[in-house]
Amino acid sequence: MANVFCSSKLKEFLKPLIDINKTIENNEQWNAHLFYLEGKKCIIFLNKETIYSFVLFGILKKDISNIRRLFIDGFINKLYEDDILELKDELVLRMKYENISFLMTNNDKSAIGSINDCISRITFSLVDNKCSLKEAKNYVKKNLNDTPMGAVKYQFPINLMKEKIKNNRYS
């Protein structure tokens, strides 16, 4: 089970799914934010423990009803891209993330700062000070979790997530 704490912007976009009465349990903690790139909605998800992140690009209003499936598929695809997940672990991970709650922001300054840092790196480009969607996707695919992050004592999020998956600590 996972709790996804949504920024105010994302909360407005996912309004029908936000559970305002849910008591926060000691589940997997994620933070998420909605940002725009080339006029398209994108959502970045960040695991609080590892600062491991992934991005859903080009999200539409019609995708809201499938956001839980998009979350787990995006997470698993990113784990495969980063050569972290083995096929034998995918089903277990999907079962662990079967129930996902989208909640209002927890105002976690560390997570918010890490998300802002990730978005800055994703959208940075030396070409005319514009970042194309293609460049952003390429950066996310190759580099997003390969930067040491201050929120985890300058460790690499990819290494922390590898360790977490290896030790089956994703609940």
Question: pLDDT tens digits, residue range 100-150?
Answer: 999 999 999 999 999 999 999 998 865 556 678 888 899 999 999 999 999
Residue 117 lies in a domain: yes
Q: Give which of 21, 10, 22, 9 is closest to 1, Cα–Cα.
A: 22
Residue 79 lies in a domain: yes
Question: pLDDT tens digits, residue range 5-58?
Answer: 999 999 999 998 888 777 677 778 999 999 999 899 999 999 999 999 999 999
Residue 171 lies in a domain: no
What does the pLDDT read at residue 171?
44
Q: Give percent of the chain with pLDDT exceeding 70.
A: 92
Per residue, the 3-state secondary structure of 66-115, as one string, reads HHHHHHHHHHHHHHHHCCCCCHHHHHHHHHHCCCEEEEECCCCHHHHHHH
The pLDDT of residue 59 is above 50: yes
Cα separations (Å) of 113 from 31, 118, 169? Answer: 11, 9, 24
- Number of structural domains (the chain) is 1
How many angstroms from the chain centroid is the CA of residue 73? 11
pTM above 0.85, yes or no: yes
Q: Which domain holds residue 100?
A: 2-166
Judge contact between 11 and 105, C-beta under 8 A. Answer: yes
Residue 85 lies in a domain: yes
d(CA 119, CA 157): 15
CB neighbour burial string for 88-111, b if at least 16 within 10 angstroms, e if fewer? ebeeebeebbeebbbbebeebeeb
